[in-house]
Amino acid sequence: MGIYAFNLLVPSTIEVPYPALVGTLVGVATLIPVVGIKLVYVPVVFGLGARAWVAGEPGLALPVGALLVVSAVMLDFIPDIFARAQFSGERTHNGLLILAYLMGPALFGFYGLFLAPILLIATTEAIRILLPYVVSGTSAEPTQATLAEFPVITTGERTEGTGRVEGADQTMAADGQDD
């Protein structure tokens, strides 16, 4: 959508050619960490700058520069610095991810592009969680509460046909569990 908006605002000299293709390439390049999106928007911006220079219109450098800045911030900086850190938890090293993206297709074909990073993260998280128990020789005790640990509360007799328990409203209000 941003490419179409850019094309509406600028003269035809520096319109981005084939905006749907550029958008698709940006989407695919997103899968490559650190350098992926740069492989698309940097050549596009330099190509537009070259077209403006060849056309002899130096005033068009401003919209091209604006496209570079907006692309760098919106497509590159914000997703890489904020979103990727939020989702990956800063635990997976970028070098390992690049290695997974390079080795995945070599090992698993096209599906390896998607499968290798998932396997990498699953393996590293399993090692991070389970390795201390394996090394120490202790078993991992579950920390999640089960239904058996919750107290059974009986508040009254069930009245026929209503599905309500008599006295339940008063008991909840007394316990401070009022809805």
* Model pLDDT for residues 61-76, shown as the tens digit of each residue: 888 888 888 888 887 7
pLDDT above 90 coverage of the chain, percent: 0
Neighbour count for residue 64 (Cβ, 10 Å): 22
* pLDDT surpassing 70 at residue 7: yes
The answer to whether 166 and 159 have CB atoms below 8 angstroms apart is yes
Q: Are 72 and 106 found together in one domain?
A: no
* pLDDT surpassing 80 at residue 28: yes
* Residue 16 burial by Cβ neighbours in a 10 Å radius (0-12, 13-18, 19+): buried
Question: CA separation (Å) from 175 to 94, 145, 153, 165?
Answer: 51, 22, 11, 16
Note down the domain range covering 111.
91-158
Q: Are 104 and 30 found together in one domain?
A: no
Mean pLDDT of 39-48: 87
What is the predicted pLDDT for the residue at 131?
A: 85
What is the predicted pLDDT for the residue at 87?
A: 62
What is the predicted pLDDT for the residue at 160?
A: 61
Q: Are 67 and 134 found together in one domain?
A: no
SS3 of residue 158 by DSSP: strand
Is 59 within the bounds of a domain? yes
Is 169 within the bounds of a domain? no
Mean pLDDT of 110-139: 83
Q: What is the pTM of this model?
A: 0.48
The answer to whether 171 and 155 have CB atoms below 8 angstroms apart is yes
